[in-house]
Structure 1
Amino acid sequence: MSVFTPLARPELEAFLAPYGLGRLVDFQGIAAGSENTNFFISLEQGEYVLTLIERGPSADLPFFIQLLDVLHDAGLPVPYAIPTGTGEALRSLAGKPALLQPRLAGKHISSAHAEHCRQVGELLAHIHLATREAPLPRKSDRGLEWMLEQGPLQAEHLAAPSAALLRAVLGEVRALHTAIRALPQANLHADMFRDNVLFDGNHLAGVIDFYNACSGPMLYDLAIALNDWCSHPDGSLDTARAQALLGAYAAQRPFSPSEVELWPAMLRIACLRFWLSRLIAAESFAGQEVLIHDPAEFERRLAQRQQVALHLPVAL
């Protein structure tokens, strides 16, 4: 179970009292997280999620709170930090920064079809449109510079074919660094995988886990989402799902010529980011009871993205 910081009922009751949401009915650790500790919290007045931030500087937390407020105010189905009766949204529990948020309806899906992907593309476009005029500044802690720093270190431990694949895309990152920085920007979710999106039946009910959110190229966020929602087990792309996602996104925000040109490379770079982070996590948490995603999944996807026949839809 990925509960890095266990909690006793008395300390949890004391923490929850200032919210004025009634008696603690029940609480349960959430096993799905791989970076933070999360609990489902049942109070007399409703269902909530408590997050203890385990990774990253606490100085970034006001950014996450402000971003979610912006998206919530735009009418998007996102969680947001609930303040106490005295207005505190960011607090401390067990020595960790802590946030209490509403529990959104719905559940994760393991098998996506075209309609799921259409709704994901539409929602991602709305997130970008809500923030593109004035993105809240935050540099990703797993951005291009991080890839260029960590990539060569990980390549040293890989078999020759895998190391060659990794070094090839690192070369693209170096060559395209300036062009990528010049792409249209907004605030990004940067982790919109299936386990961070909730569906209530066939209706997209919410998107969660914004703790990788940052400011950056919207095309990168789109590539991250598509690589997860539209991939077959062998890493190849499902054309019908991919076209549904891209078409729904483009209907809200048309693509620029530079985005069309850089799309194939961006798909590869998005694969690289998660291949590297999973390799590092597998090494760091080896032997611990922590959910570790398979790094080979993104190695397969990266191998399949060496030739990309899927183009961005362009308005005529």
Structure 2
Amino acid sequence: MSVFTPLQRSQLDTFLAPYGLGRLLDFQGIEAGSENSNFFVSMEQGEFVLTLIERGPSDDLPFFIELLDVLHDAGLPVPYALRADSGEALRSLAGKPALLQPRLSGKHISAVNAHHCQEIGGLLARIHLATREHPLPRKSDRGLEWMLREGAALAQRLPAEQASLLNGALEEIAKLQERVRKLPGANLHADLFRDNCLFEGTHLSGVIDFYNACSGPMLYDLAIAVNDWCSDEQGRLNAERTRALLGAYAALRPFSAAEAELWPALLRIGCVRFWLSRLIAAEAFAGQNVLIHDPAEFQRRLAERQHVDLALPFAL
């Protein structure tokens, strides 16, 4: 189970009292997390999610709270931090920064179709449109500089074929990084995978886990989503799903010429980011009872993205 900080019921009773939500009925750890400790919490007045922040500086947490307030006010189906009777959104529990949020309805899906991808494309465009005029500044701690630094170190420990694939991608990042940074920007989810989205039937009912959110190129956020939602088991892009996601996005926010030109490279950069983070997690938590996502999944996707035939729906 990916709960890094176990909790006792007495701790939760004390922590939850200032929210005025009635008695604690039940709680359980959420197994799907790979970076933070998350718990489902049942109270007399509803269902909630408690998150203990395990990674990253606590100085960034006001950013996440403000961003989710902005997106919630824009009518997007996102969680937001509840305030205790003191007005505080960010509090401490078991020595860790802690947030309590309403539990969104819906379930994760495993069998993805074109309609799901259409929903994701529209949702991502709405996130970007809600923030692009006044993006809240936050530099990603797993951005291009991190990829170049960590990638160079990891490549030395990889088998020759994997090292060659990674080093080629790092050379491309080094060459294109300034052009990438100049692409149109907004606030990004930066981790819009299937396990961070909830559906009720065919309707997208919730988007969770904004703890990788940052400001940056909107196209990078789109590439991350496409790489997960539109890939088959061999890592290849499914044409129908890809066109559905990109078309729904472009209907709300048309692409620029610079974005159309850099699209294949951004897909590869998105693969590098998650290949590296998964390799690092696999090393750090080897032998521990922690959910580790398979690094080879993004190795295969990066290999497949060396040739990208699906262009952005772009017209001058």
Task: Please name the residue that 1:281 is paired with.
Answer: 281
Secondary structure of residue in 2 paired with 1:51 = strand
Q: Distance in 2 between matches of 1:32 and 1:171?
A: 34
Q: Deviation digits for residues 230-289 of structure 1, max 9, x if unmatched?
A: 000000000000000000000000000000000000000000000000000000000100
Letter in 2 for 1:62: P
Q: Distance in 1 between matches of 2:166 and 2:160?
A: 10
Task: Please name the residue that 1:55 is paired with.
Answer: 55
- Tell me if 1:123 matches 2:123: yes
Secondary structure of residue in 2 paired with 1:146 = helix
Matches within 5 A, 1:38-187: 38-187=38-187
What is the CA distance between 1:315 and its match in structure 2? Answer: 3.8
- TM-score w.r.t. length of structure 2: 0.99
Letter in 2 for 1:212: N
Q: Distance in 2 between matches of 1:309 and 1:223?
A: 14
Q: Distance in 2 between matches of 1:315 and 1:66?
A: 35
Letter in 2 for 1:107: K
- Tell me if 1:238 matches 2:218: no
Q: Deviation digits for residues 42-98 of structure 1, max 9, x if unmatched?
A: 000000000000000000000000000000000000000000112010000000000
Letter in 2 for 1:86: S
Letter in 2 for 1:266: L
Q: What stretches of structure 1 move > 6 A for 4+ residues in a row?
A: none
Q: Distance in 2 between matches of 1:149 and 1:253?
A: 33
Task: Please name the residue that 2:206 is paired with.
Answer: 206
Q: Distance in 2 between matches of 1:177 and 1:204?
A: 33
- TM-score w.r.t. length of structure 1: 0.99
What is the CA distance between 1:314 and its match in structure 2? Answer: 1.3
Secondary structure of residue in 1 paired with 2:18 = helix
Q: Distance in 2 between matches of 1:212 and 1:315?
A: 32
Letter in 2 for 1:9: R
- Tell me if 1:219 matches 2:219: yes
What is the CA distance between 1:157 and its match in structure 2? Answer: 1.1
Secondary structure of residue in 2 paired with 1:231 = coil
Letter in 1 for 2:307: Q
Q: Distance in 1 between matches of 2:44 and 2:186?
A: 38
Secondary structure of residue in 1 paired with 2:235 = coil
What is the CA distance between 1:106 and its match in structure 2? Answer: 0.2
Q: Distance in 1 between matches of 2:172 and 2:207?
A: 31
Letter in 1 for 2:118: R
Q: Deviation digits for residues 184-203 of structure 1, max 9, x if unmatched?
A: 00000000000000001110
Q: Which runs of 5+ in 2 are unaligned?
A: none
Q: Which runs of 5+ in 1 are unaligned?
A: none
Q: Deviation digits for residues 150-176 of structure 1, max 9, x if unmatched?
A: 001111111111100000010010000
Letter in 2 for 1:41: V
What is the CA distance between 1:227 and its match in structure 2? Answer: 0.1
Q: Distance in 2 between matches of 1:106 and 1:315?
A: 36
Secondary structure of residue in 1 paired with 2:206 = strand
Q: Deviation digits for residues 80-123 of structure 1, max 9, x if unmatched?
A: 00001120100000000000000000010011100000000000
Letter in 2 for 1:267: L
RMSD: 0.5
- Tell me if 1:261 matches 2:250: no
Letter in 1 for 2:71: L
Letter in 2 for 1:105: S
Secondary structure of residue in 1 paired with 2:165 = helix
Secondary structure of residue in 2 paired with 1:31 = coil
Q: Distance in 2 between matches of 1:126 and 1:86?
A: 32
Letter in 2 for 1:92: S
Q: Distance in 2 between matches of 1:181 and 1:196?
A: 26
Letter in 1 for 2:4: F
Q: Deviation digits for residues 16-51 of structure 1, max 9, x if unmatched?
A: 000000000000000000000000000000000000
